């Protein structure tokens, strides 16, 4: 039997509620395929920060490096100034654990509504590989002449060839592994950001020609891609892009696949420890009400299993989610619909765990 050590970071707001259901389903699927997850909870988040003044203890990163994966609920607390927890927990883990890929599947499941007219699950099935450690998120820059009319602020978009190459390599490999259209689209802005995206474009074609001749290469400017993602989502198989553009287009991706209640992501260090999370926020106003939709967190659990190499268990989670979605038992994806429809976070988790264990 394979055993894995998983760090749980429930976080803030409704994070603990969705993570509880995610763990329930992931454990049920793993058990079926003879794998076991040993979970350890960490209380990093807003409440701990308000009580102790500490966001992430210095020992945390070293400790987290000892796990096979990290499973996160949500970060964001209404009484904590925006940015403190996001930077002190989420971004710090991403950076210090060198999780340089943000992997975001954009997949429309049957029985899930997309706001795009005349598009269905056969049209919306691609993944975004977002560079997750550098670019505009590097934190290089500054402010001078603060609070004068002459104040200036600079925030640099920084990329080294190595940072670009390692991200591209992951993206090309993802296109190969998916074995769908064998197509990789670079999303950039070569007409204006003539240094950074010139580097990306040269690196993209260099690597494609030399190492991935079987993968078709395509290019789209970031503004145009927001249009194509809505108008022709079926054009995409794998999209690769820098950190900031990736942040923006993956929220658009989440919307076309049914919203934040469905969308999951992985912060991946292909050589180290990776972290999986639902990409919606902590939805604090629903805390403790047992009405928040746990599907996104369950899909994050599917990604976690897949990353561990437990592909059968991962497929089982996905199939269980699809079976549940098709059962008609879900009154809707939003907390309001779940509440008014008489369902609940734990009932959804129980039903999916049941499918995962038996169906
Ligand atoms: C995301 C989030 C984060 C980001 C925030 C919370 C720092 O929006 O995971 O997409 O900008 O990367
Ligand atoms: Mn984002």
123 plus 102 within the same structural domain:
no
Residue with CA at minimum distance from ligand 1 atom 1: 247
Residue with CA at minimum distance from ligand 1 atom 7: 86
**Pocket mutation for ligand 1, best pick of 13, 86, 138 (most atoms within 8 Å of C-beta):** 86
- For β-strands 152-155 and 274-278, DSSP reports them as unpaired
CB 308 within 8 A of CB 266: no
Give the per-residue pLDDT at 110.
94
353 plus 277 within the same structural domain:
yes
299 plus 352 within the same structural domain:
yes
Residue with CA at minimum distance from ligand 1 atom 12: 247
**Pocket mutation for ligand 1, best pick of 73, 75, 91, 260 (most atoms within 8 Å of C-beta):** 91
Ligand 1 pocket by C-beta < 6 Å: which residues?
Answer: 86, 90-91, 247, 279
120 plus 249 within the same structural domain:
yes
Give the per-residue pLDDT at 112.
95
How far does residue 209's CA lie from ligand 2's centre (Å)?
Answer: 32
Range of the domain at 133: 114-257
Give the per-residue pLDDT at 3.
97
202 plus 139 within the same structural domain:
yes
Give the per-residue pLDDT at 359.
78
145 plus 239 within the same structural domain:
yes
205 plus 119 within the same structural domain:
yes
Number of domains into which the chain is organized: 2
Residue with CA at minimum distance from ligand 1 atom 6: 86
For residue 119, CA distances in Å to 110, 181, 231 come to 11, 18, 9
- Closest ligand relative to 86 C-alpha: 1
How far does residue 162's CA lie from ligand 1's centre (Å)?
Answer: 23
CA angle 267/274/88 to nearest 5° reads 65
| Nearest-angstrom CA–CA distance, 325 and 332 | 10
Backbone CA torsion sign across 134, 137, 139, 145: positive
119 plus 79 within the same structural domain:
no
How far does residue 265's CA lie from ligand 1's centre (Å)?
Answer: 11
Residue with CA at minimum distance from ligand 1 atom 2: 247
76 plus 210 within the same structural domain:
no
- Closest ligand relative to 282 C-alpha: 1
91 plus 152 within the same structural domain:
no
147 plus 248 within the same structural domain:
yes
249 plus 147 within the same structural domain:
yes
How far does residue 246's CA lie from ligand 1's centre (Å)?
Answer: 10
Last residue of a domain, one of 257, 273, 297: 257
Give the per-residue pLDDT at 66.
98
Residue with CA at minimum distance from ligand 1 atom 11: 247
How far does residue 248's CA lie from ligand 1's centre (Å)?
Answer: 9
Q: What is the CATH number of the domain that holds 295?
A: 3.40.718.10
Task: Assign 3-class secondary structure to the chain.
Answer: CEEEEEEEEEECCCHHHHHHHHHHHHHHHHHHCCEEEEEEECCCCHHHHHHHCCCCCCHHHHHHCCCCEEEEEECCCCCCCCCHHHHHHHHHHHHHCCCCEEEEEEECCCCCCCCCCCCCCCCCEEEEEEECCCEHHHCCEEEECCCCCCCEEEECCECCHHHHHHHHHHHHHHHHHHCCCCEEEEEECCCCCCCHHHHHHHHHHHHHHHHCCCCEEEEEEHHHHHHHHHHCHHHCCEEEECHHHHHHHHHHHHHHCCCCCCCEEEEECCCCCEEEEECCCCCHHHCCCCCCCCHHHHHHHHHHHHHCCCHHHHHHHHHHHHHHHHCCCCCCCCHHHHHHCCCCHHHHHHHHHHHHHHC
From first to last of the 359 residues of the chain, give the pLDDT tens digit. Answer: 899 999 999 999 999 999 999 999 999 999 999 999 999 999 999 999 999 999 999 899 999 999 999 999 999 999 999 999 999 999 999 999 999 999 999 999 999 999 999 999 999 999 999 999 999 999 999 999 999 999 999 999 999 999 999 999 999 999 999 999 999 999 999 999 999 999 999 999 999 999 999 999 999 999 999 999 999 999 999 999 999 999 999 999 999 999 999 999 999 999 999 999 999 889 999 999 999 999 999 999 999 999 999 999 999 999 999 999 999 999 999 999 999 999 999 999 999 999 999 97
Is 0.95 surpassed by the pTM of this model?
yes
Structure tokens at 98: 């060198």
Last residue of a domain, one of 235, 257, 279: 257
Last residue of a domain, one of 205, 228, 257: 257
Give the per-residue pLDDT at 69.
98
**Which residues are CB-neighbours of 183 under 8 A, at least 6 positions away?**
175, 215, 216, 217, 218, 236, 237, 238
Residue with CA at minimum distance from ligand 1 atom 9: 279
Q: Classify each residue of 161-174 as buried b or exposed e, where b means 16 or more C-beta atoms within 10 Å of its C-beta.
A: eebbbbbbbbbbbb
């Amino acid at each position: 039997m394979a055993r894995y050590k998983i760090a749980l970071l429930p976080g803030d707001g409704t994070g603990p509620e969705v993570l509880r259901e995610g763990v329930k389903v992931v454990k049920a699927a793993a058990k079926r395929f003879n794998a076991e997850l040993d979970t350890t909870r960490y209380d990093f988040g807003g409440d701990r920060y308000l009580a102790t003044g500490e966001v992430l203890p210095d020992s945390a990163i070293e400790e987290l490096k000892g796990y096979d994966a990290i499973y996160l609920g949500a970060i964001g607390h209404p009484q904590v100034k925006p940015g403190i927890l996001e930077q002190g927990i989420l971004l710090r883990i991403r950076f210090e654990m060198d999780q340089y890929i943000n992997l975001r599947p954009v997949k429309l499941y049957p029985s899930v509504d997309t706001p795009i007219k005349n598009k269905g699950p056969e049209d919306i099935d691609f993944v975004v590989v977002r560079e997750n450690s550098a670019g505009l998120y590097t934190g290089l820059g500054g402010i001078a002449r603060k609070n004068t009319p002459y104040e200036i602020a600079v925030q640099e978009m920084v990329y080294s060839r190595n940072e670009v190459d390692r991200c591209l390599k992951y993206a090309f490999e993802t296109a190969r592994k998916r074995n769908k259209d064998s197509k990789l689209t670079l999303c950039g802005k070569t007409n204006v950001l003539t240094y950074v995206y010139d580097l990306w474009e040269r690196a993209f074609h260099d690597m494609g020609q030399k190492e991935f001749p079987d993968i078709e290469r395509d290019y789209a400017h970031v503004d145009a891609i927001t249009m194509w993602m809505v108008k022709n989502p079926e054009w995409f198989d794998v999209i690769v892009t820098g950190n900031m553009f990736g942040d923006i287009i993956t929220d658009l991706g989440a919307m076309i696949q049914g919203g934040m209640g469905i969308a999951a992501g992985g912060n991946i260090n292909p050589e180290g420890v990776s972290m999986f999370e639902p990409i919606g926020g902590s939805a604090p106003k629903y805390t403790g009400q047992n009405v928040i939709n746990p599907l996104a967190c369950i899909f994050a659990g599917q990604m976690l299993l897949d990353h561990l190499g437990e592909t059968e268990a991962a497929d089982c989670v996905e199939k269980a989610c699809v079976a549940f979605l098709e059962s008609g038992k879900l009154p809707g994806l939003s907390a309001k619909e779940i509440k008014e429809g008489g369902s609940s976070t734990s009932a959804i988790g129980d039903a999916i765990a049941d499918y995962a264990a038996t169906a």
